[in-house]
């Protein structure tokens, strides 16, 4: 046995993500500052309910970033799908059909992104930024620049009804995330996503159809964004054409601080779940402290940057330690 080698600590053996400690710290901090308001059943349910919408939108973003790309159009799709569904329902269309049309719109945006990026090799930042503008504009056109009331109590049931004291949309989100975790880790499609993100050339040499899978990834991103938009609209039984404005940034932040690398091929939905909970917990705590909304954005942005910097620093330290270990072993 080599001398000088330290046994791994209990925390390293447990392999607990660093973001978990940040989430626990936030809970402790806000519980101390607002003991009678933060740790209440009502507030916990509110945090989870708000997290559900962002988590569904972030699911598609996770898949895209795992494949080493990005999707700036998610927020616009959230807005567009919501106003499409609300407008259709308000005009007497069956809810099921309205929902299908809204989801089809999201998939169409994703398909367009995928084709332009995978087939025509357009830059993914420029492409998705462009489709974000198109989607945001269409949302304003469909809604007539105003919030659309559905006029249907049935439409609002998904976002407000409860089963066993828990919102239906939360049950739906838990099931969806469980299914997508299985897809990412146990299916050929999931393998393709990680493989493409790790090395597109290696993935192609190993038989992965990069073109088809990239298009499928962006279609999934559009689909999940549209579902998030439907959830958001159902919660208030109405839809605003700018409701999803912040969701692209929030989804990217949740995925990245959850440990999924922009380089692709590393991370997953487990970290995204923690990232979403951290962001929504922070927002809830700041609201209860009475912090102005303008300052909230600045504070949340600062926290996100701090976490990302800490993660990058940690990765660099880890790489240096691994290099030293290899050098020591070589000697």
**Of residues 285 and 297, which shows the higher confidence score?**
285
Tens digits of residue pLDDT in 296-314: 889 888 888 887 787 777 7
Of 9-23, 86-100, 173-187, 210-224, the least confident? 9-23
pLDDT of 242-267, one tens digit each? 999 999 999 999 999 998 988 899 99
What pLDDT shows up at residue 122?
96
CA distances from 156 to 56, 124, 149, 230 (A): 18, 35, 11, 10
Helix (H) or strand (E) holding 118: none
What's the rounded Cα separation, in Å, for the pair 284 and 106?
29
Q: What's the confidence (pLDDT) of residue 278?
A: 95
CA distance 260 to 93: 40
- Model confidence pLDDT, tens digit, residues 187-242: 999 999 999 999 999 999 999 999 999 999 999 999 999 999 999 999 999 999 99
Average pLDDT over residues 42-70: 96
CB proximity list for 38: less than 8 A, separation 6 or greater: 27, 30, 31, 284, 285, 288
Which range (2-6, 181-185, 192-196) has the least confidence?
2-6
CB of 91 within 8 A of CB of 77?
no
List all residues 6 or more positions away from 161 whose beta carbon is below 8 Å from its beta carbon.
167, 168
- φ, ψ of residue 2 to 5 degrees: the values are -75, 140
Banded pLDDT at 10 (limits 50, 70, 90)? very low
pTM of the model: 0.90
pLDDT-based confidence at residue 70 (cuts at 50, 70, 90):
very high
């Amino acid at each position: 046995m080599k001398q000088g080698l330290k046994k791994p600590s209990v925390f390293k053996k447990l392999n607990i993500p660093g973001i978990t400690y940040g989430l626990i710290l936030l809970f402790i901090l806000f519980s101390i500052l607002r003991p009678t308001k933060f740790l209440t059943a009502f507030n916990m349910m509110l945090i989870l309910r708000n997290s559900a919408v962002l988590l569904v939108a972030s699911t598609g973003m996770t898949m895209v970033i795992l494949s080493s790309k990005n999707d700036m159009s998610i927020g616009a799709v959230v807005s567009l799908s919501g106003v499409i569904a609300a407008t259709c329902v308000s005009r007497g269309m069956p809810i099921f059909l309205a929902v299908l049309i809204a989801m089809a719109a999201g998939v169409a945006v994703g398909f367009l992104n995928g084709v332009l990026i995978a087939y025509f090799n357009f830059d993914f930042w420029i492409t998705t930024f462009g489709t974000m503008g198109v989607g945001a504009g269409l949302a304003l056109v469909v809604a007539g620049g105003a919030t659309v009331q559905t006029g249907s109590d049935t439409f609002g049931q998904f976002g407000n009804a409860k089963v066993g004291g828990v919102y239906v949309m939360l049950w739906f989100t838990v099931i969806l995330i469980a299914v997508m975790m299985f897809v990412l880790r146990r299916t050929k499609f999931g393998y393709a996503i990680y493989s493409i993100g790790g090395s597109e050339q290696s993935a192609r040499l190993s038989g992965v159809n990069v073109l088809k899978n990239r298009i499928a990834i962006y279609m999934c991103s559009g689909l999940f964004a549209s579902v998030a938009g439907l959830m958001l609209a159902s919660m208030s039984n109405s839809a605003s054409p700018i409701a999803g404005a912040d969701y692209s940034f929030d989804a990217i932040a949740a995925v990245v601080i959850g440990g999924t690398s922009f380089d692709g091929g590393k991370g997953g939905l487990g970290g995204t779940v923690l990232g979403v909970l951290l962001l929504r917990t922070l927002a809830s705590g700041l609201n209860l402290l009475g912090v102005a909304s303008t300052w909230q954005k600045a504070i949340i942005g600062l926290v996100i940057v701090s976490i990302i910097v800490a993660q990058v620093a940690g990765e660099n330290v880890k790489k240096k330690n691994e290099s030293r270990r290899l050098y020591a072993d070589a000697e």
